[in-house]
Structure 1
Amino acid sequence: MAFSALGLSAPLLKAIGEQSFTQPTPVQQQAIPAILQGKDILGISKTGSGKTAGYVLPILELCQRRVEKKDRHVRVLVMVPTRELAIQVNDVYKTFCAHLPNKIKTMAVYGGVSINPQMMTLHGIEILIATPGRLLDLIDHKAVHLSQVDILVLDEADQMLNLGFKEEMDKVFQLLPAKRQNLLFSATASDDIKDMQRHLLHQPVTIEVTEEEQNIELIEQLAYHVTAARKGPLLRYLIKNEGMQQVLVFTSAIRTADNLTGKLIKNGIQAASLHGHLSQTGRLEKLQRFKAGKLRVLVASDLASRGIDIPQLPIVINYELPRSPKDYIHRIGRTGRAGVSGRAISLICPEDQHHFGIIQKKMGKKVEILESDDINLQGF
């Protein structure tokens, strides 16, 4: 099926073509026509399944049919759990807005930065992407109003609940108009998500894209005990000493990804970081270089890396462990695909040992852990 069969206009199809998207993913095939028809959506799919474009494209199509607005009443509210995801989603909106005849103003708001610039910029915003806490702060300052919201999107709803945003989300729901279109996306169908579905969605179209169970048997797993001070040098030693090529390194924070990349480059290792503070174009460019073998190392934060799909990626390194065993399996599952073996290495500091034990127990597989004290890291 082609994107042109889904009811999208020529300007959006042109923007899609410029992103080298050849055909819609299963989520997009089902979501785009249903959203254009004004239906509520319950989408259960993993990050990286294409769901962001699956709701961004039809929302932009619908917004083209409305009169331009110049006040603080947003029409589309997208709630997300993290600053990184807010920036990513906003970038996707801006990418697909490129050729629209009626310009649509979008904005991402999140905590951790000054609220004043956000308050000043909100006038005339039609699509707002927000983390729950900062959204409530802006509402308290009367910088934004929700009484005219036509479409509510909850992206990564399970993660918002896991991060303790339920109370904030409930407060936001009370400020929304009763008549609206609701789009709920989650990686899991937990009891909390089912409860939210019952309260928010009206006769929803249910889209459930199950991910193939990852076979980790083809992945050779190994770990190293290492102190925090020696972790960076050990990473560089492993890459250089073993002649590693096309290495995907995972970190848990954007700052760590950037710092690590800088030190790799300083030590003569071609590297780039991939995270939500980059533009959509920037992320795609780095990902394409990495896939083509033109980048030796790609250092990725969790959210930015979920969509990485390289059939014969040889090696994954966990510079930092993820929060959950499921995320660990998802990370190492980037290698060992299509019947080709792969390697996964984890760097374990003393404070990580208990958590890594839990990961191994949940995974049902023991990982050999080597000591690194005797490795001479001088010069790395």
Structure 2
Amino acid sequence: MAFSALGLSESLVRAIKEQNYTQPYPIQQAAIPAFLQGKDIIGIAQTGSGKTASFALPILQLLQHKTARTGRRVKSLILVPTRELAVQIQGVFHEFGAKLPQKVKSLAVYGGVSINPQMMQMSGTDVLIATPGRLLDLVSQNAVQLSGVEILVLDEADKILSLGFKEEVDKILALLPEKRQNALFTATLGGDVEAFADKLLISPLKIQIEEEASVPELINQIAYQVDAAKKGPFLRYLLKESDMQQVLVFASSIRTADNIVGKLLKRGIQAAAFHGDKSQGARTDALTKFKAGKLRVLVATDLASRGIDIKFLPYVINYELPRSPKDYVHRIGRTGRAEASGQAISLISPEEAHHFKIIQKKMGRRVPMEPTDQLDLAGY
């Protein structure tokens, strides 16, 4: 199926082609026509399934007929759990909307940075992408009005609720007009999310993408047996011997991430940490440099597993395994995107071997395991 068959305008189809997208993902095939028809939607899909475009494209089209204005009443509101996801989604709106006949202004707002610049940019915003706390701050400052919202999207709703934002979201919903279109996207549909969806959505179209689709065949997975004490030297060995560039490394704690970065820097390898203890400015700077290829290694905690979106990221390395198989899928799903191949590498200590077997069983895929005990890691 082509994008032109989904009811999108010629100008949007051209914009999609310019970004080298050829065929819509399954969630886009189902969601875009329904969105354009004004239906409420619940989408259940893992990260990397293409869900951002499934609401960004129809919103851009629906806003092509808006009347010009300069006020602070936004028409579309997208609630997200993290700063990184807000920035990522705004990037998608800019990517597809840059050359449309009718300009659509999108703005990402989030905490951890000064509120004043966000207030100054608010005028004329059509699509507001916001974390719940910062949005309520802006409302309290009369910087934004929500009485004109026609479309509401909750992205990563499971994470919004798990991070404790339900009270804030309830306050935001009370400020919105009753008559509006709603869409909720989530990786899982547990009790809390399902109850919330039942309250929010009216006769929604339910779109569920099977979980195995979130591990594309384009991701080449491999694992290495490594003693925990030798993981650092082996990581540096991999980077040097394979001349890896633009490598996203996942660690399970802030302390470990900082330790990895410190040792990489000592050996002349450009690296930066990306976690919750870093300021927003430091995180934004590191991610910008990493995306531009000016930073060789980004070491992240699971804070970033859903927030980093790089079309052609070649490598993801699990320095340590995450707690759940779903988090493992989220991590490796940072590569193998946009129809590009990628490699996911996991360093498995003897203590992690059993847990890795469980992850493979849940994925329904066996990952080849290579020994490392014969390697001379001296000097790494």
Q: List per-residue Cα deviations over 1:292-321 (Å, max 9, x = no partner).
A: xxx9978774225678799xx8x8522355
Give the C-alpha shift of residue 333 in structure 1. 7.7
Q: List per-residue Cα deviations over 1:141-179 (Å, max 9, x = no partner).
A: 111111110000000100111111111111111111100
In 2, Cα distance between the equivalents of 1:281 and 1:247?
A: 12
Confirm or deny that 1:115 pairs with 2:115: yes
Paired position in structure 1 for 2:99: 99
1:35–1:112 CA distance, 2 compared to 1 (3 A): same
Paired position in structure 1 for 2:250: 251
**Mind listing any 5+ residue stretches in structure 2 that lack a counterpart?**
276-282, 337-342, 362-366
Paired position in structure 2 for 1:185: 185
Kindly provide the amino acid, as one letter, of the partner of residue 303 in structure 1: R
Give the C-alpha shift of residue 344 in structure 1. 3.6
Paired position in structure 2 for 1:290: none
1:281–1:60 CA distance, 2 compared to 1 (3 A): farther
Q: List per-residue Cα deviations over 1:2-41 (Å, max 9, x = no partner).
A: 1111111122111101110001111111111111111100
**Mind listing any 5+ residue stretches in structure 1 that lack a counterpart?**
287-294, 337-341
Give the C-alpha shift of residue 220 in structure 1. 3.8
TM normalised by structure 2 equals 0.75
TM normalised by structure 1 equals 0.75
Runs of 4+ in structure 1 deviating by more than 6 angstroms, as ranges, are 213-216, 271-276, 278-286, 295-300, 306-310, 333-336
1:304–1:167 CA distance, 2 compared to 1 (3 A): closer
Give the C-alpha shift of residue 328 in structure 1. 2.2
Percent identity between the aligned chains? 49
Confirm or deny that 1:224 pairs with 2:223: no
In 2, Cα distance between the equivalents of 1:7 and 1:343?
A: 36
In 1, Cα distance between the equivalents of 2:292 and 2:114?
A: 30
Kindly provide the amino acid, as one letter, of the partner of residue 327 in structure 1: D
1:281–1:181 CA distance, 2 compared to 1 (3 A): farther
Give the match's secondary structure for 1:183: strand
In 1, Cα distance between the equivalents of 2:335 and 2:129?
A: 33
In 2, Cα distance between the equivalents of 1:64 and 1:265?
A: 52
Q: Report 1:169-180 matches (<5 A).
A: 169-180=169-180
Paired position in structure 1 for 2:7: 7
Determine if contact 2:43/2:208 at 8 Å carries over to the other structure. Answer: yes
In 2, Cα distance between the equivalents of 1:57 and 1:279?
A: 29
Give the C-alpha shift of residue 277 in structure 1. 4.6
Kindly provide the amino acid, as one letter, of the partner of residue 302 in structure 1: S
In 2, Cα distance between the equivalents of 1:137 and 1:192?
A: 25
Give the C-alpha shift of residue 238 in structure 1. 3.7
Determine if contact 2:251/2:318 at 8 Å carries over to the other structure. Answer: no
1:224–1:132 CA distance, 2 compared to 1 (3 A): farther
The size of the alignment, in residue pairs, is 350
Q: Report 1:263-282 matches (<5 A).
A: 263=264, 267=268, 277=284
Determine if contact 1:252/1:302 at 8 Å carries over to the other structure. Answer: no
Give the C-alpha shift of residue 219 in structure 1. 4.8
Determine if contact 1:72/1:122 at 8 Å carries over to the other structure. Answer: yes
1:198–1:333 CA distance, 2 compared to 1 (3 A): closer
In 1, Cα distance between the equivalents of 2:131 and 2:153?
A: 12
In 1, Cα distance between the equivalents of 2:71 and 2:353?
A: 53
Determine if contact 1:108/1:128 at 8 Å carries over to the other structure. Answer: yes
Q: Report 1:197-208 matches (<5 A).
A: 197-208=197-208
Give the match's secondary structure for 1:101: coil
Give the match's secondary structure for 1:107: strand
Determine if contact 1:226/1:347 at 8 Å carries over to the other structure. Answer: no
Aligned-residue CA RMSD (Å)? 4.5
